[in-house]
Amino acid sequence: MKRRSVIGHACWAAVTAGAFAVGLVLDRNPSDQKSVVKVPSAKSSRSADGGISGGGGSRSAGLSGSVQLAGGQSSGGVTGIGTGALSQAAIEALAKEAFRSGNPLVRRRAFDQMLSSLTAENAQDMLVQLKENRVGGDQWRDFHYLWGTLDGKAAVDHSLDSEERDLSHTMAGWASSYPNAAIDYINNLSEEDRGSFRHLQEAMVSGMADNNTAVATDYVLQLANQGDGRATHLFGVVTREVVSNVGIDEAAQWSESLPDGDLKGAALDTVAHRFTNSNPEAAAQWVEQFAGQAYADRAIEEVGDEWAERDPASAVNWLETIQEGRGQSMGLHSAFGEWAQRDPVAAGERISAMERSPQRDAAIGGFSRRISYDDPGTAIEWANSIADESSRTRALTHAGQQLFRRDRAAAEAWIGSSGLPAEAQQAVLNPPNRRR
């Protein structure tokens, strides 16, 4: 059968950790000093493809250890995985309870037992039952994730040939336990399967980040150092997993430890968003250490914007105290935009009390932009008070476009006396289709 691309699985690429994958050990290199992994207590050995061979000749998980994640996150291991071989009849009986019982507690217990008894040898038999019962959602994901942790190559090979949405799950499971084997696999895909590379890589990174932040981080940073254009997107996957899987303090520490640059800035931005939602004052105190660093401009703005949605005056008070720079200006622009939406009178009064400065220009820029959608004439008046010429031109252009959308004749009458350069005048008279 010709293998199909995983493009149809794109919406499943960012896979979260399956409930039954947390007890599996990572196949890190001895030189990987960042990963901290506890040795599983059960006797097992890894096969070359990332499968696990038990002492009885049956490849099963049989683990009861736990994984210590970078940043201090740990998850207790799953006990009882692969504890006994099931006959086909037993699998069918369990499936009947798991998927057809009228009692939800019976269904849950039976499905848990199926997963705890999953082995490389019976995976296909269990999969038949999942398909016959049209299983989907979390159960479908967890099964394939765990299959990937047990027998990664076989699971991924099967998924490449299947028509179901399972490839991302199996690859994520494999990578969560055997990242090196998973990396080697996708790096050596045949030409026939290269169309699956991008989504396989994304699922792989997501799976790696489930169990070891350091491994996933190092992998993507290496891609970035090699000039790989996918690094930025993949680092976003890592960052989202970190923010989802660990506490905000640990996520903040992780982002701080990254090398200075755009990827660190993107991580700071994502962490700042979550941090501000939970504790804006603490988020502001944390992020201001990066004020003045170009890579942190977006994070500074994020805190100012998110805080202003709740308490614009406090957000502005904080922004005025931090180191001057683009981050501060962006933050003031966003904060006053939020303030203008909540209370334009109070926002305008605050601007009027500010001394002529780049900070005031940024505040007016955000304020005028927001009010231009409802009152473009007033927005133009405010924009004209911006001292910096380039900032004034941008604000006037945007306000003029909103005027054009509301009253074309008024905009055409104003444009000649606007003082805008020819290019900006053309932009006013030809606004983009999108309103905001």
User: 94-112 b/e with 16+ CB inside 10 Å = b?
Assistant: bbebbbeeeeeeebeebbb
How does the average pLDDT of the chain come out, rounded? 81
Residue 25 lies in a domain: yes
Kindly state the average pLDDT of the residues 419-436. Answer: 88
Residue 350 is assigned to a structural domain of this protein: no
Q: Print the domain residue range for 155.
A: 16-171
User: For residue 309, is it within any domain?
Assistant: no
* d(C-alpha 104, C-alpha 427), whole Å: 61
pLDDT of residue 84: 54
- Considering only CA atoms, which of 342, 372, 379 is closest in space to residue 435? 372
d(CA 72, CA 103): 38
Position 211 confidence tier, pLDDT thresholds 50, 70, 90: confident
Q: How many domains does the chain have?
A: 1
Lowest pLDDT segment from 51-65, 224-238, 363-377: 51-65
Residue 434's pLDDT band (cuts 50, 70, 90): low
The phi, psi pair for 321, rounded to 5°, reads: -95, -15
For residue 313, being part of any structural domain is answered with no
How far is 17 from 129, CA to CA, in rounded Å? 23
- Does residue 268 lie in a domain region? no
Please say if the pLDDT value at position 366 is more than 80: yes
Whether 22 is covered by a domain: the verdict is: yes
* Cα 109 from chain centroid (whole Å): 32
> Is 228 within the bounds of a domain?
no
Residue of 148, 218, 201, 144 lying closest to 176 (CA atoms): 148
Give the type of residue at 431.
P
pLDDT in tens, 244-295: 888 899 999 999 999 999 999 999 999 999 999 999 999 999 999 999 999 9
- DSSP alpha helix (H) spans, 86-136: 88-100, 104-116, 123-132
Helices (H), 151-247: 152-161, 167-177, 179-187, 197-211, 213-225, 231-245
Query: Is residue 152 assigned to a domain?
Result: yes
The yes-or-no verdict on residue 205 having pLDDT over 70 is yes
Structure-model confidence comparison of residues 71 and 222, the more confident one: 222
